[in-house]
Amino acid sequence: MSQQQFEAAAADGSSVTEQIGGAQRIAVIAATLFGLALVVHQLFNLRVGGLVLIDGRYLALLGGLFLGVSFLTFRINGSKDGVPSLLDWVLALAALVVTGYLVATAQRNLSEGWEYAAPDLARYFAYAFFALTLEATRRAGGLVLFLIVALFAFYPTFASHVPDPFSGFQSSLSDTIAYHVYSSEASFGIPMKAFGGVVIGFILFGAVLQRTGGGQFFNDLALALVGGYRGGAAKVSIFASGFMGSMSGSVISNVLTTGAVSIPAMKRTGFSARTAAATEACASTGGVLMPPIMGATAFVMASFLSRPYIEIALAAAIPSLLFYFGLFAQIDSYSARRGLRGLARVDLPSLKATIRDGWLYVGVFAVLIFMLVVLRRETSAPFVATALLLVVNQILPSHRLTLRRLGDMIVGVGQGLAELVAILLGVGLIVGSFSATGLAGTLVNELVFLAGDNTFVLLLMGALTAFIFGMGMTVTACYIFLAVVLAPALEQGGLNQLAVHLFILYWGMVSFITPPVALGAFAAATMAGENAIKTGFEAMRLGGVIYIAPFFFVLNPALIGQAPAGEVVVALISALTGVALISMALQGYVSLVGPLPTGLKGLGLRVLMFFGGLFFAMPHSGDLGGLNYIETAAVGLALAALPLGVAYVAGRREAGAA
């Protein structure tokens, strides 16, 4: 694949569905610009005309606005294709009308406590908003998410009839719906508060970055740095997909965007279609777990934990490093075992030219990171960075926005925000149900009781629960649900709070590469023309670290930086060594050393190396089973010594033959 093809694909941030026209385009652009102006006014406390919005009024106005846009974005079958029907326009208008009532009565709702005693007219509007939310969730999130949301949304109406441990306080249908709409713990609770506070700014930044040449720059930078090495096309995919996934927060869209470039390039340089698709699926999945942005979920987590966003990002850094290091090590071993080479020099951009033409993008990121880490201005940082991107875009003529491209960008942003709002409003109904019935507290106690005070059993139950719910929900929706239902039980088991929330996030992501669902792997398999199930199992092998790393850091908080600096360094070195051994065992080749034999003998050696890696990376909280870091490392080295020796001899033999 030529550099021009890479550039064209990387620069194309718009999709066919964004190329809309007529009244739909005008409405989406107008609503998006008004919504963004509203957010800037609220977050920067501009007080234009002396206007000050209370939180309830602000969130209702913002949520209702993009709820209306969602009906213009998604057709009744959930597709974005085609033009809105008369029904779509009616629903969009209804969303605005109902929201207008919520906005107008926000102060009265707050002072009179309508979540418990709403007047009749308010209840009618609550019914309408509730129905619109469910329909928008169905269109934007799919049938599975809709069924889950609907079940839990109506749960308070039959909570007392459900067997323990899932029984709770029961309410009438009218009281339940009023609580969902007027309470600050339901539709307009933590999910929408996080969206209206910081999430929307980073979604805007990611969209603008992708459409103003930033995506192409970072793709070219990855190509120039590692594209020429063995397995270079796959290594570029790891960097590019990880970066774009962190921006978008969507595994599927990341696979479809970067996979269109990376999968053909990997196949062209010798990767099998299955491995190429699996690599892209794993890299795109890991992007949602990678700082500095981590999609939208990190900001929702910060709201749940009442912690600064930077604490979440720093804690996620080491787990993300372990995942990508394991994936990188497997790709290198795979490439060495098959004798693959990197991309041809003629297909690679010049590092010097790439930095010369795009260093301004590095400057923008430096400003963003400075504001996040040093100034701790999570709310304003993405807006400042977005403004700088637009200035940079006008300085660099090759990516300068035309009026048409600017309109396409605004439409794309509006569609993305509408999709997220539709899902967050729906997930808020789940949160509201647990709050209204008191189930969250009782379920925690029951889970702890079932685990019998065994922390590891509790973690296994938690991992299975997160995996199951991750199958039917988006990343953010799954995290919110698990943060309400599962996290308190794990915290009550004596585990570190921040590590617990990262644990459920990781295990909620596992389903994207694990059959029978494996949506990320299946999407990549379709693009590669490969069997979906086989691709899913290959993705499980390549992304194997994602299954075990959460147990490492939840049992050893040093791996999320929650320990003295010296212990963090030792834990990181041990974990990286263990991950490297595990990854090379899974591929049957020791990088820079040599291959392991095939057959039963090779399988036995790989098992030894795998367990050697586990001992190196074994969780520690001072000690485990009487062994400290040095002693467990010694056990790991003893287990891995024979496989390493055999690989060394085989490698010397290969070198001599060559």
Q: Do the Cβ atoms of 140 and 418 come closer than 8 Å?
A: yes
Q: What is the pLDDT of residue 500?
A: 93
Distance, in Å, from the CA atom of 195 to the CA atom of 181, rounded to the nearest integer, reads: 17
* Mean pLDDT for all residues in the chain: 84
Which one, of 266, 213, 227, 263, lies nearest residue 350 by Cα?
227
Distance, in Å, from the CA atom of 253 to the CA atom of 324, rounded to the nearest integer, reads: 19
- What is residue 594's three-state secondary structure? strand
**Residues, the chain, total?**
658
Q: pLDDT for 465-493, tens place per residue?
A: 788 777 656 677 778 878 887 888 888 87
Q: What is the pLDDT of residue 10?
A: 38
- Distant-in-sequence, close-in-space partners of 113: CB < 8 Å, separation ≥ 6: none
- How many helices (H) and strands (E) the chain has is answered by 31, 2
- pLDDT score of 262 more than 80: yes
- pLDDT score of 562 more than 80: yes
- Distant-in-sequence, close-in-space partners of 384: CB < 8 Å, separation ≥ 6: 367, 368, 371
Q: Do the Cβ atoms of 170 and 156 come closer than 8 Å?
A: yes
- Distant-in-sequence, close-in-space partners of 165: CB < 8 Å, separation ≥ 6: 442, 443, 445, 446, 447
Residue 259, amino acid: G
Q: What is the pLDDT of residue 272?
A: 92
Rounded to 10 degrees, what is the CA torsion of 136, 483, 524, 606?
-170
Chain mean position to CA 21: 31
First to last CA, the chain: 29
Where are the strands (E) in 586-634, listed by range?
589-590, 594-595
Distance, in Å, from the CA atom of 284 to the CA atom of 278, rounded to the nearest integer, reads: 10
Instruction: Calculate mean pLDDT across residues 93-110.
Output: 91
Percent of the chain with pLDDT over 90: 30
Instruction: Give strand pairing partners of 627.
Output: 624
Residue 107, amino acid: Q
Least confident of 72-81, 329-338, 429-438, 618-627: 618-627
| Most confident listed range (13-27, 66-80, 215-229) | 66-80
Q: What is the pLDDT of residue 16?
A: 40
Chain mean position to CA 130: 27
Q: pLDDT for 209-228, tens place per residue?
A: 877 877 778 778 888 888 88
Q: pLDDT for 163-202, tens place per residue?
A: 776 777 888 999 999 999 998 888 888 778 878 877 788 7
Q: pLDDT for 629-649, tens place per residue?
A: 788 889 999 999 999 999 999
**Exposed e or buried b for every residue in 437-458, given b needs 16+ CB within 10 A?**
bebbeebbeebbeebeeeeeeb
Q: pLDDT for 25-53, tens place per residue?
A: 899 999 999 999 998 888 887 777 667 77
Q: pLDDT for 533-557, tens place per residue?
A: 889 999 999 999 999 999 999 988 9
List C-alpha distances in Å: 191 to 141, 298, 383, 469, 602. 15, 12, 20, 17, 50
